[in-house]
């Protein structure tokens, strides 16, 4: 009878002393991750099972502009300086194409010349042209036009065109890199936001428990040991809140950096309600996509083709070069003995034939061939690395998908265990140690479930990057 009366008194005092019953804590976290032995990933949002009050606490602690993952990618692709650098380098490479193509166009130069010299200066020693060392003034133009170099210039132009295509692909690869960096930073910040919500809910729940146990202890219905355990749990929850706030601030700083801003904007991150669809049905399907559309691989292939065309151009240096020359002008001032009174002009064709240059041209051609072969091997090595990375990303994604089901089951079991432990404690059939352990297990299960979902989303983002999908 005494045991029954004590249990009934415990329940009545609990109801009168506190507005919220102990049972209300079963959906709230309980203790810091450090006490649980957890290593919380920096890519996780609030668990899908988080209560409305917990979500409201997230909103209050993150009063900034709402931001989704797609919006974050758009902001980064617009403002991140690495995107601008890649685009400017691609534009600069297109100017190289114009530089190479200029060799096929006429080269027209104008000259204005006035000379006052002593007699016989033109036969003196020195490096000045003898024809200029006569008293005269004149003006004219000189035309130089390449007729043919047997394909060398055409191959140089083709090589520069391929390099420009490679630069465009590298710009796309940079966009993909930034998109992946944004996704990972977004999920880290989302996890920090979730951890902060869990920490805030934990502090509130532990404070409620501490108040209840303190009231029961004052009524001689609970021992001071129960009160000490409750106060320890509350202190641990406050430590968790401090760590969570620091992680949240650091994650927001990293997110702002990848977005291309120096502002310390604390966004209120919004996760997608539906899980993203898989990239392909199998790893082999993703590998096929990656080998066809990875921008870094396409850039490597274009660079290899450019090396091949450049090597061909270097071999054509050994062939003759045929150019047309022309000059026309007037000499209004000067001796009639040497200069025509009205105008002068001439036209001709020049054939340049390389005979011997110490084997320089042969060495340049061999060097270009070897570099082309080296770029071919680099292309093959990149393909092998892409296949490995895709398979690894696929396995990681599959494991994360399986973890979601396991963690959901774990959370359900932890909630059931907490219900039983709480009932036993309310009836005086167990100590606060058992209740605390059940609360810790539930908190761990909540964090694990949140981590599992967002790890899956982050792994899908990594797999999307590996497949070559560009934003």
Entry pTM: 0.75
Q: Using CA atoms, how far apart are residues 318 and 361, in angstroms rounded to an integer?
A: 7
Q: Name, in order, each residue with C-beta under 8 angstroms of 93's C-beta and a sequence gap of 6 or more.
A: 160, 163, 164, 166, 167
pLDDT one-digit tens code per residue, 222-247: 888 888 888 888 888 899 889 989 99
Main-chain dihedrals φ then ψ at residue 143, nearest 5 degrees = -115, 130
Tell me what pLDDT residue 302 has.
96
Binning pLDDT at 50, 70 and 90, where does residue 32 land? very low
Strand partners, 328: 141, 345
Main-chain dihedrals φ then ψ at residue 450, nearest 5 degrees = -65, -45
Say if residues 443 and 202 touch (Cβ distance below 8 Å).
yes
Q: Name, in order, each residue with C-beta under 8 angstroms of 288's C-beta and a sequence gap of 6 or more.
A: none
Tell me what pLDDT residue 449 has.
82
Tell me what pLDDT residue 84 has.
94
Domain spanning 43-116+132-467: CATH superfamily: Outer membrane efflux proteins (OEP) (1.20.1600.10)
Q: Using CA atoms, how far apart are residues 289 and 390, in angstroms rounded to an integer?
A: 10
Binning pLDDT at 50, 70 and 90, where does residue 132 land? low
The most confident of 239-248, 274-283, 335-344, by mean pLDDT: 239-248
Q: Using CA atoms, how far apart are residues 391 and 287, in angstroms rounded to an integer?
A: 8
Mean pLDDT confidence for 235-260: 91
Binning pLDDT at 50, 70 and 90, where does residue 86 land? very high
The terminus-to-terminus CA distance of the chain in angstroms comes to 72
Residue 204's Cβ-side half-sphere holds a number of Cα atoms within 13 Å equal to 17
pLDDT one-digit tens code per residue, 396-434: 999 999 998 999 999 999 999 988 988 888 788 887 888
Three-state SS string over 331-355 comes to EEEECCCCCCCCCEEEEEEEEECCC
Q: Using CA atoms, how far apart are residues 464 and 33, in angstroms rounded to an integer?
A: 31
Tell me what pLDDT residue 3 has.
40
**DSSP tally for the chain: helices H, then strands E:** 11, 6
Mean pLDDT confidence for 2-27: 35
pLDDT one-digit tens code per residue, 188-218: 898 888 888 878 887 887 788 888 888 888 8
Q: Is residue 20 pLDDT above 60, yes or no?
A: no
Mean pLDDT confidence for 131-160: 88
pLDDT one-digit tens code per residue, 106-118: 999 998 888 777 7
Alpha helices in 219-294 (DSSP H): 224-258, 283-293
């Amino acid at each position: 009878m005494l045991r029954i009366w004590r249990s009934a008194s415990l329940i009545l005092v609990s109801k009168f002393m506190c507005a919220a019953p102990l049972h209300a804590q079963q959906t709230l976290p309980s203790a810091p991750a450090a006490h649980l032995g957890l290593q919380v990933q920096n890519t996780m949002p609030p668990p899908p099972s988080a209560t409305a009050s917990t979500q409201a606490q997230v909103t209050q602690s993150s009063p900034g502009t709402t931001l989704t993952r797609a919006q974050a990618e758009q902001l980064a692709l617009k403002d991140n300086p690495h995107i601008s650098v890649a685009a400017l380098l691609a534009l600069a490479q297109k100017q190289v194409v114009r530089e190479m193509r200029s060799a096929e166009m006429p080269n027209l130069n104008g000259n204005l010349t006035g000379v006052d010299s002593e007699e016989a200066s033109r036969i003196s020693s020195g490096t000045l042209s003898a024809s200029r060392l006569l008293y005269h003034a004149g003006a004219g133009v000189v035309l130089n036009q390449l007729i043919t170099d047997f394909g060398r210039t055409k191959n140089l132009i083709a090589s520069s065109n391929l390099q420009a295509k490679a630069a465009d692909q590298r710009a796309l690869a940079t966009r993909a890199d930034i998109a992946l960096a944004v996704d990972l930073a977004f999920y880290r910040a989302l996890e920090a936001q979730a951890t902060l919500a869990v920490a805030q809910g934990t502090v509130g729940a532990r404070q409620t428990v501490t108040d209840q146990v303190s009231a029961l202890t004052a009524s001689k219905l609970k021992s001071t040991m129960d009160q000490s355990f409750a106060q320890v749990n509350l202190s641990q929850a406050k430590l968790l809140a401090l760590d969570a706030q620091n992680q949240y601030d650091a994650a927001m700083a990293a997110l702002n950096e990848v977005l291309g801003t120096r502002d310390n904007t604390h966004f209120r991150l919004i996760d997608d309600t539906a899980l993203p669809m898989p990239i392909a049905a199998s790893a082999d399907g993703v590998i096929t996509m990656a080998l066809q559309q990875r921008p870094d691989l396409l850039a490597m292939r274009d660079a290899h083709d450019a090396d091949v065309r450049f090597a061909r151009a270097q071999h054509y240096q050994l062939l003759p070069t045929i150019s047309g020359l022309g000059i026309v002008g007037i000499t209004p001032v000067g001796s009639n003995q040497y200069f025509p009174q009205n105008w002068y002009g001439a036209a001709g064709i020049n054939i340049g034939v390389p005979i011997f240059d110490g084997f320089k041209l042969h060495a340049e051609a061999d060097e270009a061939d070897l570099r082309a072969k080296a770029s071919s091997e680099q292309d093959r090595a990149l393909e092998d690395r892409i296949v490995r990375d895709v398979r690894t990303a696929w396995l990681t994604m599959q494991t994360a998908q399986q973890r979601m089901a396991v963690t959901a089951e774990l959370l359900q079991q932890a909630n059931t265990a907490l219900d039983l432990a709480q009932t036993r404690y309310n009836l005086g059939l167990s100590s606060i140690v058992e209740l605390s352990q059940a609360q810790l297990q539930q908190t761990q299960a909540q964090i694990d479930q949140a981590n599992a979902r967002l790890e899956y989303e982050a792994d899908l983002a990594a797999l999307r990057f590996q497949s070559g999908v560009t934003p």
